[in-house]
Structure formats: structure tokens, C-alpha cells
Amino acid sequence: MDRFQKLRIKMVENQIRARGVTDERVLSVMAKIPRHLFVDEALIEQAYNDNPLPIGKSQTISQPYIVALMTAALKLTGREKVLEIGTGSGYQTAILAELAEQVFSIERIAQLAAGARKQLDALNCFNVAMRVGDGTYGWREESPFDGIMVTAGAPKVPTILLEQLAVGGRLVIPTGGRISQELLRVTRMSADLNEVKTEVLCGCRFVDLIGEHGWNN
């Protein structure tokens, strides 16, 4: 077992399982994906720590526990089509690629998207399609999605994303102010967009979702 694998197992047991995430598929994928390959070399020793880390361009790779919590909230079985908004380093994307059938991921910063694509290709994540642009519009041509995950904080739930959710599909999104948000799971209950079930998963602090249906800048 290599050094990083030991750190990954500790991360899963102490930071994730101990805090109540019980989805075994999520736990085993997080014990497998090499998070240290998604951070800058200078931060490699901190890759499995219990906190977010900078990835450049004033953005972050999320805390491992938050990645696990958001992933588990989608309740993936392996057959789903998932949209991720905010590719960042590509770490969360790699986790989703292992747990869903197809992943579509949008990042607004081209340099981050290029770095993420490189790592995802190196890990043979060939079921991931990526696009650079404003993800707050979603990816309508590929909709409906069984799950949508937004990895940046929005002022409110964008209706345009609910429209792209399959009936029964789940949207996981941090919403609230620019300093702190609530992590929501919104389940589309019927074709009528007014019939949604909204659950608050926890308080959280994310970088801004910047775009037409997010913050202005």
C-alpha cells in the first residue's frame, strides 16, 4: 500500500465515515481516487487534510467531507447522467465519473478546465464531457439529468437548472449569501416545476457561482 493510499483511507474513515456518510460506493471511490494529483505539487502533502485547498485563479478544491456529502446526496447507482457545474481541479468530476454512467461538467475558467481535463484523461475518465463557459445556463442539449451538482455558491436555486432535471432527479447546490450558504438538495417531484422537495443538508462556505443565473461577478 503506498503512502497516499494510507492517507486516503484515513481521510475516508476519520473525516467522512465518522461524520455520518454511509454510502459505501462513495466511500470506496474516495479511498481510490488520488486526490493529490488534483492539487499543485507544492500542496501535495496537504491533499488529504480536512480542509479545502487553493487551486489557482482564486478557486478551491473542496474539503473531502463536502465532496463526499454532496456526492452521496445525489444517491447515484451507476446508471445516471449527471451534470456538474464548476469543474475546478476535476477531483469531484473524477469521483462522479466512477459513480455515474455519464458526466457533463462545465467550468468558466479555461485554464482550470484544461488542467482538469489533463488529469481526468490520465485517470481514463472517458465518460466525462467538458465545456468551458457559464454553467448557470446548464447544458440543455444533454438534459434531462438524473443529478445536477453545483460546486459554487449561488444566490438562489436557478429555475433553468430545475428545468433540466429529470422527474425524480436531484439538484445539490449551495445557496445563500456570498460569505456563507446552506447546502440544499432539491428533488424534482413532477413535470410541474413548482413540485419540488427541498432539504437543507448543512451550512457551508463556497466560492461564488458567477454567471447569468448566479452572482454578477
Which residue from 97, 130, 165, 207 is in contact with ligand SAM, where contact means CB under 6 A? 207
Question: Comparing C-alpha atoms, which of 138, 141, 142 is closest to residue 150?
Answer: 138
Of 40-48, 72-80, 106-114, 160-168, the window that binds ligand SAM (rule: CB under 6 A) is 106-114
Strands 145-150 and 81-85: parallel
Q: Does residue 62 have an active-site annotation?
A: yes
- All three cell numbers of 49, joined, read 487534510
Query: x-or-dash pattern for ligand SAM, window 151-190, by CB under 6 A?
Result: xx--------------------------------------
Least Cβ distance, residue 107 to ligand SAM (angstroms): 5
CA distance 213 to 10: 38
For residue 179, CA distances in Å to 66, 69, 214 come to: 17, 20, 14
Which residue from 11, 47, 61, 125 is in contact with ligand SAM, where contact means CB under 6 A? 61
CA distance 131 to 122: 18
List of residues contacting ligand SAM (CB under 6 A): 55, 59-62, 85-86, 88-89, 91-92, 106-109, 112, 134-136, 151-152, 206-207, 209-211, 214
